[in-house]
């Protein structure tokens, strides 16, 4: 696993698409039902689009109907949680532990039949996929 990937903003802009930069580095959100991994069902590993760190196994992905890829758990240590008060409410932001790239938010207690009762709501543009 990559660790402590730090780059100046100019380097991030050079290696990421404008949309990836907006989401990963500026904490943006892609529109619902537009991301390439929302309905993706192949077996493999989802990695950070910024630094390549493995974040989620496909076995933890589920269809939540929320419009973004949903996972019930991350690879241990790969995702960090932070309090987010940006919309006038308290949410839990999730970022790549290695590079700090914004992934999305995690929600608890929604009643999905998963082992953790959590939904990691992740922007597709924050991810890359590798087949197993």
Residues that are catalytic: 121
SS3 content of the chain, % helix, strand, coil (to 5): 15, 30, 50
How do 118-122 and 70-71 pair as beta strands? antiparallel
- Residue identified by tokens 């760190």 is 53
CA geometry: angle at 28 spanning 56 and 113, to 5°? 40
Q: Is the backbone of residue 117 left (phi > 0), alpha (psi -120 to 50) or beta?
A: left
Distance CA 51, CA 59 (A): 22
């Amino acid at each position: 696993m990559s660790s402590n990937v730090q780059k100046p903003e100019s380097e991030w802009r050079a290696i990421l698409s404008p949309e990836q930069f907006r989401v990963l580095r500026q904490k943006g959100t892609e529109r619902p039902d537009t991301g390439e991994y929302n309905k993706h069902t192949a077996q493999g590993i989802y990695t950070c689009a910024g630094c390549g760190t493995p974040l989620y196994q496909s076995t933890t992905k589920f269809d939540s109907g929320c419009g973004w890829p949903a996972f019930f758990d991350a690879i241990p240590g790969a995702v960090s949680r932070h309090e987010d008060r940006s919309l006038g409410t308290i949410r839990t932001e999730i970022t790549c532990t290695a590079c700090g790239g914004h992934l999305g938010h995690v929600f608890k207690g929604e009643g999905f039949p998963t082992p953790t009762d959590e939904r990691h709501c992740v922007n597709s543009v924050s991810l890359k996929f590798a087949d197993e």
